Each structure stands twice: as C-alpha cells, then as structure tokens.
Structure 1
Amino acid sequence: MQTRRFGKTGWTVSAIGFGAWQIGGSWGDVGETDALAALNAAIDAGVTLIDTADVYGDGRSEKIIARLRRERPEIKDRVKVLTKAGRRLNPHVAEAYTIEALEAFIDRSRANLEMETLDLVQLHCPPPEVYYIPALFEGLDGLVRAGKIRHYGVSVQKVEEGIKAIGYPGVASVQIIFNILRQRPAELFFGLAKAADVAILARVPLASGLLTGKITRDTSFSADDHRQFKRHGEAFDVGETFSGVPFEVGLQAVEELRRILPQGVPMAQAALRWILMHDPVSAAIPGARNPEQSRGNAAAADLPAFSPAQMEAIRDLYDRLIAPHVHHRW
C-alpha cells in the first residue's frame, strides 16, 4: 500500500482510505456482518484511514467502526478514524453552527466511536457563510486543547469554500469531491492546500459508482439508495450524486474512458490510480460494501503510473464532455 503524509498532522496514512458512508446507509442494504467484513478486508490490505460521519445511518457507521476497534485492538493506534459533524442541525443553516452545538455532536461521536479523543472531526459541508465565523474555528481550537479532538478539518462542496477554510491555521484537512469527472480542484486549490500543509481527502472518487464502469442505462437502484431518491439534489447538493454529471453524459464519458484507461485493469482501480497521480492528494476514500470491493480499492495504489498521453487524453475528454456541466458549479 502506498502511503502519504497527512498534512500538518504529521500522520502517515494509506493513499487509499475507506469511506464509511455505504456501511451506514443510503446505499441500499448493507448488513453489519458484511460491513465488518469489508472493513476488515480493507485493514488487511493496508488501509490505515477510515472516514465516517455522525449522520451515516444516524450513527450506525460510527458504531460499526467502534466494534471493529474493539475486536481488533491492535489497530487503534495505527488506523486513523475521521468523522464529521454539523449535518444533524435542523434547520441546517449557518446561524445554527455554534461551538456548543458542535461540541454536543462531537460528544455523541465520541460515545458512538468509543474514543475519548477523536482523531479528526470535519465540519460536514456547512453553508458557505460558516467559513466567515472565526469564533467557530477558535472554538474548535478550544476543543483540541480540551482533548476532545486531536485535529479538525472541513468537508466542502465548492473549491472556493476550501480556499477560505485553509486560511484558518487550525484547519488540518479539506475533503473535496475529486475524480476524473470533477477535476477543477487540481487547477488552483491543490497548490494552495499543499503550500498551507493541509491534507486533501478525495471524496466521491468513483462518482457514485459511475467510474466503476458497471452502471448502465438499465441499472436500477433500490428505494433506500441515494442514487435513486436524491439523484436530483432533493436532500443534499446534487454534486454528491454522480458528481453532478447528468447521468447520460456520465455514461457516455465512461464508454470513452474505456479506450483510454489501461486495458485489463478494473475501471474502478484505474479511476482511483488517476486520483493518486496528483501528489497533493493525501488519500482517496472510496466506499465498499464487501471484502472484494475493499481489496480491489486497495490494489489501486499499486498500479503503474499513467502515461502523459493517458493523462492528456483524460483531460481532453473532461474539457470536451464534462466541464460544461460541472466545472464552474463546484
């Protein structure tokens, strides 16, 4: 497993992490036995970073990770667990982002994860106005001093939010959508984050499954899968589902990618390896619902580098087909 430095935390983490949204909910049914098997397979394959959130299954994802840590105590120091807070606010508005509210959410996650001190807590895609509340970030510094969290970061929708966030010296990481179908962060933001020694987590790395190459026009999603019930942004930003790319356009892009990506390599692995071609990325965090997916994701870190010609062809495809739909929205 390739490893990378995680910004100013000083951690060294696996370049492929484990995104734990799928094992919490909103991706169809994933039983706890399957979820634990997927997590164990990831750890056995060298993964040392797990990303979750308090709203993934209303705490279910965090509790499954706590069980993993109980059953494998040897990983507690080696595997970093990142969670998120803020999306439990109702209404989810900037005015509700107080340090008192966040501390309550953090205490709940500490209980769910059975961790006295959380490794890292991320503001969970807050409204843009939150980045203009310095007192909130000062409050998070206070929670670090109090020993409730070691570090904090943010998960953002837009590049501009990430740029604003890294202006706060305590922000250790930024999680942002970055994949073959969402390339804008690499243009400016990555360089700024690297200069600030801020870790970058590439989320939605497989564009909600589009970049596995297994989704077709005939693919059906269960009623409790967000790709069915929130596809058009009904409950959260539309960019979270299929990276905001219109479904038919995404399918066309995937067909063209088949002629560019390395032959004989699963598309999901190739798509993850493309992300790792960008040195400022600390880790990509694909999800998995079974051991096979976990092992496949981890194997991406060991693939050969892309050639300059392949990188150029992928960028040309993005500019021609994808950018008009997503580039300036996020």
Structure 2
Amino acid sequence: FVATKLGRRLDPHLAEGYTAQAMEGFVDRSLKNLGTDTLDLVQLHCPPTEVYYRPEVFGALDDLVSRGKIRRYGVSVEKVEEGLKAIEYDNVDSVQIIYNMFRQRPAELFLPEARRRHKAVIARVPLASGLLTGKMLPDTDFAPDDHRHFNRDGAAFDKGETFAGVPYDVALEAVEALRLLLPAEAVMAQVALRWILMQEAVTVVIPGAKTPEQANSNAAASGLPMLPEELMAGVREIYEARIRPHVHHRW
C-alpha cells in the first residue's frame, strides 16, 4: 500500500497553485521516486480553505484516477468545516483530521457525517504533539527545529498543529487531571489512543514514534479493552472545563 501527501511542494497560501498540471507533476515525481505505476492513496495536505470550493481540483484528481496514476484520494484538513466540505465530493475517500482528547469537536458533526457517507477517517496528532503521553514537564526543552519550540503561537504554520492549539501550561494541568482518572499501571499514551478508537467513525490512528518500543506500545493500544463509561465521562468533563474555551470554536 503506497500513500503520499500532495501539497508540501505547492504554495500552501495560494489556492491557484492547485492546478491539474501541478498536481499531476507531483504524482509523476512520486511514481518515479517510489518506483511504482500507481499510488494507492494521495491526500491533499491541508490546502487553503478555498480549494475545497473548487470542484475543478477534485475533477483533476478524478482524471488521475481514471488514468490509473492513483487509485484513491483524500484530504488532510485543519478545520472541521473543511472536512465537512471535502466529503461532499463523492470520490473523496479519506479525511485526515486532528482528533484527540484535547480536540473533540470533530465528534459533534463531522465524524457522524463521515460515517454516514462511508468515508475513511484518519486521526492525526492523536497525542497532541506528545502532551498526551504524560511525559512532558513545564521545563521540557525542545530542539530549535522542533515545531513544539517555534510554532506554539502559529509562527510557521497553523497553531492548531502544535499541542493541538492548547496553551502549554493549560495543557499540562489538564494532563495531570487526566492522570488522576487512570489506574496507576496505565500507559497514558495507550489510553489516549484507545480513547480515539472508541469512536466508531475512526478508521485508523497515526501516532508518531521515535523508537521501536514506542511504536510497539502505540500499536498495543488497539488491543486494550473498551474504556469504561466513567473514564469517558471524566475525559469529557476535563475537556469542557479546561480545554474547550481554547480550541473548540477555532478548529
């Protein structure tokens, strides 16, 4: 299965850059670099909102499908509204969206609608840039080239990508409140991933990992039993009281 993101080489601020020629050029380069004849999935990577209102963009992707260069296509979105617009296009097969304990808005409208329309949902930033591992401290130091160091206020790209848009100090307090809900032996990252998988509309979760041990631990989350109702309710209460005012109406 070969998947790739389309948009890194295009100007992220110019909807005009998403032309049929530019997108086919990207696909052709990917086919050559990967040594394959067809890409199984191509996703537009967080294009400007205006792109979702340009049917010709999705028509160009349909053309690439008809010519066998790609099998399916989807989008990666910043906002719920973009995801809802994207799935109005019949041939958009997947939507990659930020969904985690600190970004719960997608569950209100987008996730039920995506499920109704039989669209795949890829939950990205599932651990809120590492916050939901429970391992970060007020004095945790990040490398200068780490977005958690330079993009907390959205200096380089959408602020909601870093720590899910939650102010760092607010998030740390919420993490400590979450910790009190968990059994002492629980691995917070696994519980955070299992929380996402409690949502039936989610197809797959894509956490990052720096070591094989982290990757194996993340993968084990899918084998955890269903989370109890009292834990789910507790997570919701923490979100409503501590997190919602900072993120809910922005993304």
TM-score where L is the length of structure 1? 0.74
Q: Which of residues 73, 83, 95 is equivalent to 2:4?
A: 83
Closer/same/farther in 2, CA of residues 152 and 91 from structure 1, 3 Å limit? closer
Q: Which of residues 136, 139, 147 is equivalent to 1:226?
A: 147
Q: Which residue of 1 aligns with 2:114?
A: 193
Superposition map of 1:1-330 within 5 A: 80-90=1-11, 92-330=13-251
| CA distance, structure 1, for counterparts of residue 170 and residue 33 of structure 2 | 40
Residue 260 of structure 1: CA displacement? 1.2
| CA distance, structure 2, for counterparts of residue 254 and residue 311 of structure 1 | 15
CA contact (8 A) 1:85 1:105 kept: yes
Q: Give the root-mean-square deviation of aligned CA atoms.
A: 1.1
| CA distance, structure 1, for counterparts of residue 14 and residue 111 of structure 2 | 28
| CA distance, structure 2, for counterparts of residue 316 and residue 180 of structure 1 | 11
Q: Which amino acid aligns with 2:132?
A: L
Matched position secondary structure for 1:193: helix
**Structure 2 gap segments, 5+ residues each:** none
Q: Which amino acid aligns with 1:119?
A: D
CA contact (8 A) 1:262 1:270 kept: no
Q: Which amino acid aligns with 1:178?
A: Y
Q: Percent identity?
A: 61
CA contact (8 A) 2:6 2:42 kept: yes
CA contact (8 A) 1:87 1:126 kept: no
| CA distance, structure 1, for counterparts of residue 183 and residue 95 of structure 2 | 30
Mean CA deviation greater in 259-268 or 155-164: 259-268
Residue 91 of structure 1: CA displacement? 6.0
**Structure 1 gap segments, 5+ residues each:** 1-79
Deviation >6 Å, runs of 4+ = none
| CA distance, structure 2, for counterparts of residue 263 and residue 172 of structure 1 | 40
Residue 89 of structure 1: CA displacement? 1.5
CA contact (8 A) 1:110 1:116 kept: yes
Q: Which amino acid aligns with 2:207?
A: P
Aligned length: 251
| CA distance, structure 1, for counterparts of residue 246 and residue 52 of structure 2 | 26
Which one has more relative contact order, counting CA pairs under 8 Å at least 6 apart? 1
Matched position secondary structure for 1:153: strand
| CA distance, structure 2, for counterparts of residue 131 and residue 250 of structure 1 | 31
Residue 97 of structure 1: CA displacement? 1.0
| CA distance, structure 1, for counterparts of residue 35 and residue 152 of structure 2 | 34
TM-score where L is the length of structure 2? 0.97
| CA distance, structure 1, for counterparts of residue 40 and residue 164 of structure 2 | 28
